[in-house]
Amino acid sequence: MPILQIKGYPNPSRLLVGERLVDLARHIPVENPILITDSTVQKYYGNRFPKGSVIPIGTGESVKTLKTVYDLYDRLIRLQADRSCFVVGIGGGIVCDVAGFTASTFLRGVRFGLVATTLLAQADAAIGGKNGVNFSGYKNMVGTIRQPEFVLCDPFVLKTLPEKEVSCGLAEIVKHAAIAREPLLSFMENHAHEILALDRPILEKLIYESVQIKASIVEADEREAGERRKLNFGHTFGHAIETITGLPHGHAVSIGMVMAAEISVQEGSLTQTEVQRLIRLLQRLGLPVAIDLEKDRIFSVLGKDKKREGDGIHFVLLNRLGEARVERISMEKLKRLMSEIHGKS
């Protein structure tokens, strides 16, 4: 498959889907790179890393902080890293965010690449140049937009991924298909069984198409002024549900996509048949599609969403499966629309 690319800041980003981790050295332009990873990825795959100085960080959202970044700066200084160094983040979305942010800010920015090792990172998080950390309980509050020189996605490493992490990645792939490519939805419907069995060529095609969709959206709007907002489909409700219930991100987004699809029906742009099709696919992929939660509680968290602007929110609706639009909806109207869809009031 042809190599995908994002022409972004400060360099183009080559998206190497299907390339193997053991061949990583080929893409690193220096002899002794700095490899930032997490302890789990190091345990499984450390023996396949190229020569370099390995710095492991812990795992989980709690390590995605400025404290970790501070410790990494310290390690880089001790390693006498200078402007000619090259950093590679090897891990899931958390490692990619932390390594990308550290490299983007150390010495005002050094060269870096990413190896995405979760399905969510391969299909979504590692692509697009956003590198952020959490601050004072707020997610991704501090960050940069800077493209890695490459993102390597080796589908073979997914075989050690816990089932929950696989399903979270699948939710983001469904999101990409729902906003931009209907045939990818059909493909997932026709291959749900192989997908769940982690059939490698099938997964590789899903990752490739997902990366292709995200790359083209990012290239059109790197700084999220318009088109890139479509990537938030299902996320307005998803984030609120995640905050309230602590459900895994992809599971909350799955429920959020169904709610956003139902709102699209209310707004007259999607049919109930299409919503049912989306629900069936998510269910076949083992994802939840509804939650026993009062809509008022969801609404009250929405009011605190950092993407809220004044009295409104940029909401992603579907025109049809495979095509999205962004509309600024007032909080009052959103509340009304929410009261008309399924679920507890």
**Which C-beta is closer to ligand NAD: that of 52 or that of 148?**
148
**Residue type present at position 116:** A
Q: Is residue 93 within the footprint of ligand NAD (CB under 6 A)?
A: yes
| Nearest Cα to Cα of residue 53 among 70, 30, 69, 26 | 30
The residue within the footprint of ligand NAD, chosen from 89, 91, 148, 238 (CB under 6 A), is 91
Question: What string of H, E and C letters represents the secondary structure of the chain?
Answer: CCCEEEECCCCEEEEEECCCHHHHHHHCCCCCCEEEEEHHHHHHHHHHCCCCEEEEECCCHHHCCHHHHHHHHHHHHHCCCCCCCEEEEEECHHHHHHHHHHHHHHHHCCEEEEEECCHHHHHHHCCCCEEEEEECCEEEEEEEECCCCEEEECHHHHHHCCHHHHHHHHHHHHHHHHHHCHHHHHHHHHCHHHHHCCCHHHHHHHHHHHHHHHHHHHHHCCCCCCHHHHHHCCHHHHHHHHHHHCCCHHHHHHHHHHHHHHHHHHCCCCCHHHHHHHHHHHHHCCCCCCCCCCHHHHHHHHCCCCCCECCEEEEEEEEECCEEEEEEEEHHHHHHHHHHCCCCC
Q: Is residue 125 within the footprint of ligand NAD (CB under 6 A)?
A: yes
Q: Is residue 13 within the footprint of ligand NAD (CB under 6 A)?
A: no
**Which C-beta is closer to ligand NAD: that of 169 or that of 334?**
169
The residue within the footprint of ligand NAD, chosen from 33, 89, 128, 234 (CB under 6 A), is 128
**Which C-beta is closer to ligand NAD: that of 19 or that of 165?**
165
**Which C-beta is closer to ligand NAD: that of 171 or that of 185?**
171
Q: Is residue 238 within the footprint of ligand NAD (CB under 6 A)?
A: no
**Which C-beta is closer to ligand NAD: that of 64 or that of 279?**
64
The residue within the footprint of ligand NAD, chosen from 165, 204, 222, 262 (CB under 6 A), is 165
Closest contact distance (angstroms) between CB of 105 and ligand NAD is: 15
**Which C-beta is closer to ligand NAD: that of 42 or that of 275?**
42
Question: What are 36's strand-pairing partners?
Answer: 55, 89
The residue within the footprint of ligand NAD, chosen from 24, 103, 120, 263 (CB under 6 A), is 120
How many residues touch ligand NAD (CB under 6 A)?
29
**Which C-beta is closer to ligand NAD: that of 157 or that of 329?**
157
Q: Which stretch binds ligand NAD (CB under 6 A): 118-126, 190-198, 272-280, 281-289?
A: 118-126
d(CA 30, CA 53): 12
Q: Which stretch binds ligand NAD (CB under 6 A): 12-20, 37-45, 50-58, 222-230?
A: 37-45
Q: Give the gyration radius of the chain's Cα atoms.
A: 20
Q: Is residue 157 within the footprint of ligand NAD (CB under 6 A)?
A: yes
The residue within the footprint of ligand NAD, chosen from 97, 204, 222, 242 (CB under 6 A), is 97
Closest contact distance (angstroms) between CB of 15 and ligand NAD is: 14
Residues at the interface with ligand NAD (CB under 6 A): 38, 40-41, 44, 59, 61, 64, 91-95, 97, 117-118, 120-121, 124-125, 128, 130, 132, 139-140, 157, 160-161, 165, 168
